[in-house]
A and B are shown apart, each in its own frame.
Chain A
């Protein structure tokens, strides 16, 4: 799937901070949700973004989408900086980027027929005639595996799985280039998850999509993504090809994260899982390396110096001792 082309999406030291205010509205600190993230996704690839809740995965996705404006850093999309574009110019990029929430079916208006929901994005972003729009909508509906007859139904007349497909069709009507999938399979049963993942793969091939796949489920990321970026408290700690990272994780956090995934067959991971404690409060991040408070390798240097991302084994790792 990968082509050695220029990256479709490139993030350079991207940051998004939120002010923390007290009861009187005075700013008392900053929550550094995304704090200097550099990443690149090539066209047609799937990049997995993993980490525990609160590590800033979703904020990163939403900042790329333009839902949040970046505090610092660049978002380069197809070679162009889009993070600081004026509003009107930013809108022309909007249709190339789409965001899929956990349940895309839930974003359908319950009082609109499916046909109405699918036409809407085309009305806003294109100048196609009604007949052209209709052709487009039918083609997309077929691509997600639904019959034309569903166009005249309301969302409640469809099953949850079919609603999800319509939600995806709606995202695809604008023929986006980059789709950000935010926890698209969490809470699903394995068998439903398998069919959803299959659909994502088919759509990726059919529409030449590039995915950013935000998930906390490592086995799903392993199956879906060519590259993986591991986030901890707003920073990338390890970034590289999925196969390599899974085969030999170098950052101690990646190692513990992989060790925590329950496996079927073999040894129980709970027998020798070592990571203690929980992630610290992102309002009050530790000095130096952010992982040092839970890290088995931590030493004095980790508190003093923040480890930069450095190349190692065909990937980048932010650890003094990796």
Chain B
């Protein structure tokens, strides 16, 4: 499969009262065209920061990119002219589905106004030439009409009943699941190559979650769009992803196709994380210790203070990426080579 996005050695620091926190520490990530990649890990592991770094919307002032590259279709977004990225990539070639469907719409304007606002700038038919549209600039009428048709069609695709009427209604008239359908429609409308979905189903009930996941997977597969799906719910990742990458404290630990990730996890952290999901046996296994501070992170492999297999080597040296099988990579000095369930 063709490479769409390649993040290489990305380092991001956040300024804190106690010094810089190394939130991303040399992260690598690959997404091929048409692939759904899951980014899993616990809160604070840097999932959202990575997603935001790719979109180029890290909080200004607090975050500082210290190195690495974000290569999208061959160009490094970090070194590209920001105006060009804004015009051609952000919201166009890469779109975003936020976590919280309740606060992502303005409560004051009808859904339709908010979607057409997006289309004014980010419609695939918008040609932002030398003189881009100004905020006061008129939305060209012919394009408005074609864009509106596209909006109605996409709303039908995400199964919104009576889309024309829905556009006139206010966000509070819709449930969380329906609002998330609008969000998916808005992410699809600019005809992007990559959608970044940041925990899009966390706020929803399981039955609604199942509906939304199914819809999202069908739509992106049908259109050949790639998705980076961040989640802390391993079950959700299993549902929707072709490949899963697990992060811990700002480092990627393991990347594997979904079946291998859940069937033959090799990193001790991955195995611990999978084991902590309550299973049918009623046994509950936690991971001893706490997530480390990113201001003073552990040396070497950041998981070593909590790892059963840790040796002096793990403390001193960050493990290199090791390929176990095709597209199954693990960053560990002592990867576990056994099917899941053999030990924990």
Contacts and interface: CB of A to CB of B under 8 A. Distances in A.
B177 A264 contact: no
A189 B232 contact: yes
A197 B278 contact: yes
B238 A263 contact: yes
- Which one of A216, A220, A265 has the greatest number of beta carbons of chain B within 10 Å? A265
A195 interface: yes
Interface in A180-195: 187, 189-195
B205 A52 contact: yes
Interface string B203-233: 0011111110110010000000000000011
A190 B290 contact: no
Contacts of B262: 264-265
Contacts, number: 113
A191 B210 CA distance: 23
B149 interface: no
Contact of A275 (B207, B280, B286): B207
B278 A194 contact: yes
Interface in A226-275: 246, 256-257, 259-265, 268-271, 273, 275
B278 A223 contact: yes
B214 A270 contact: yes
Interface stretch (B129-137, B249-257, B269-277): B269-277
Contact of A260 (B210, B232, B273, B286): B210
Contact of B207 (A52, A198, A223): A52
Nearest to B341: A265
B207 A264 contact: no
Interface in B29-83: 42-43
The number of chain A residues touching the other chain, given as a range, is 35 or more
B342 interface: no
A308 interface: no
B42 A262 contact: no
B206 A260 contact: yes
A287 interface: no
Given A194-B287, A222-B278, A262 B205 contact: no
Given A190-B276, A270-B214, A262 B286 contact: no
A126 interface: no
Interface string A112-129: 000000000000000000
Contacts of B284: 194, 197-198, 201, 223
A219 interface: yes
A85 B331 CA distance: 63
B286 A273 contact: no
A271 B217 CA distance: 10
A299 to B, nearest CB: 22
A270 B206 contact: no
A129 B79 CA distance: 69
A159 B290 contact: yes
Contact of B206 (A198, A218, A271, A278): A218
Given A189-B232, A216-B206, A264-B274, A194 B286 contact: yes
A261 B235 contact: yes
A189 B206 contact: no
B322 interface: no
A273 B238 contact: no
A270 B280 contact: no
A263 B286 contact: no
B239 A262 contact: yes
Given A268-B239, A270-B217, A190 B232 contact: yes
Contacts of B287: 191, 194-195
A216 B210 CA distance: 14
Given A53-B205, A222-B278, A261-B206, A191 B213 contact: no
A276 B214 CA distance: 12
7 contacts: A52-B206, A190-B273, A198-B284, A223-B279, A260-B209, A269-B210, A270-B217
The 3 closest A-B pairs by CB, nearest first: A262-B235, A223-B278, A194-B286
Given A53-B176, A195-B287, A223-B278, 16 more contacts: A189-B43, A190-B273, A191-B286, A194-B278, A194-B287, A197-B284, A222-B280, A246-B280, A257-B207, A264-B238, A264-B277, A270-B213, A270-B214, A273-B211, A275-B207, A276-B211
